[in-house]
Amino acid sequence: MNTSRNQFNIGRGTVIHGKWHSQAYLVERLLGRGATGTVYLVNGPDGAAALKFSNSLSITAEMNVLKAFAKVQGSSLGPSLLDADDWESGYGVQPFYVMEYIQGPTLSAFIRMRGSSWIGVLLLQLLENLQTLHEAGWIFGDIKPDNLIVSGPPFALRCIDVGGTTKMGRAIKEYTEFFDRGYWRAGSRKAEPSYDLFAAAMVAINLVYPERFSRNEEGIKQLEAKVRQKKELQAIAPVLIKALQGKYSSASAMRTELLVSLNSETKKKEPVNRRSAVRKNNGRAIYKQKRKERGLFTLAAVLFIAVVYVLYVLTELLI
């Protein structure tokens, strides 16, 4: 039951033959090695592709998720599944699957290169993708910048690791502490839309705190303070905080509010940014006050007319 047994090395030029579908893949180079398996860049019948080895259980689980992704119309978040097979090698039978090779920098690298103004835009993309996924009854689970790749141009956010995707209502099995609301004591590990939205907000936080930080005893208050401390997050801070508090029931609700805050930021570039959040909060209060004033005015007018009418009646009667 040890997962480390798959840590073998396959050199460049090795040909991997599938036992069931008899496809051949020429290994180009190692792309990555992680806790869940090893991924190689290969040349297959349809050109470059990514081939993943892992233990039989996790390979099969991931394949199921990729198949489910394929059924979700309009979601481009995950890579498409090309083939699944077994390789009878000198190391014994190795199950593997082949997926689309997604090229580009990781989200963190992209933000480092292009600047923080991309955070909000890419977050919008992420939320749009999450919405389609949620509508299909799936929760992404393990959202983190290391798993997200910006392909393009035109720039599109893609995810290279879908291993954490879970059916709605079940328990999240795979996650990374920093992005997990259970770790921050902000809620359960049940697969529901608000779990993904919390993680999405943490992705934004991680982009401005690349070295991350560990929790103290304050729980969610600590995260709120961290969000407010960064100038880069000022415009979207209220949206992020609401997501951290689990106040959004759907990705589209969060996306709508994020869009509003991003638009208002570009308009109010000149005045001091710090006030924009305060002003937004006070908007409703001012409106209420106005409504009260209008009420008083109507009351005064009605009283005045009544008094005039009474005077009129009295004068009519007297004359």
Binding-site members for ATP are 52
Q: Which residues are known binding-site members?
A: 52
Q: Indicate whether 246 belongs to the interface with other proteins (CB under 8 A).
A: no
Q: Indicate whether 95 belongs to the interface with other proteins (CB under 8 A).
A: yes
Q: What tokens appear for 236 in the block?
A: 């979207």
Q: Indicate whether 27 belongs to the interface with other proteins (CB under 8 A).
A: no
Give the footprint of other proteins on residues 59-78 (CB under 8 A): 60-61, 63-64, 67
Q: Indicate whether 212 belongs to the interface with other proteins (CB under 8 A).
A: no
Kindly give, in sequence order, each residue whose CB lies less than 8 Å from that of residue 137, ignoring residues fewer than 6 positions away: 167, 168
> Active site residue: 83, 85, 142, 180, which one?
142
SS3 content of the chain, % helix, strand, coil (to 5): 50, 20, 35
Q: Indicate whether 301 belongs to the interface with other proteins (CB under 8 A).
A: no
Alpha helices in the chain (DSSP H): 56-71, 107-114, 117-135, 193-208, 220-229, 237-244, 251-267, 274-318
Q: Output the CA–CA distances (angstroms, integers) from residue 125 to 156, 259, 275, in the order listed.
A: 7, 11, 27
Q: Shortest distance, CB of residue 36 to other proteins, whole angstroms?
A: 11
Q: Indicate whether 103 belongs to the interface with other proteins (CB under 8 A).
A: no
Task: Tell me the β-bridge partners of 95.
Answer: 86
Q: Shortest distance, CB of residue 84 to other proteins, whole angstroms?
A: 4
Q: Indicate whether 171 belongs to the interface with other proteins (CB under 8 A).
A: yes
Q: What are the φ and ψ backbone dihedral angles of 55, each rounded to 5 degrees?
A: -75, 160
List interacting residues with other proteins (CB under 8 A).
1-3, 20, 56-57, 60-61, 63-64, 67, 84-86, 93, 95, 97, 169-173, 177, 182-183, 188-191
Catalytic site positions: 142
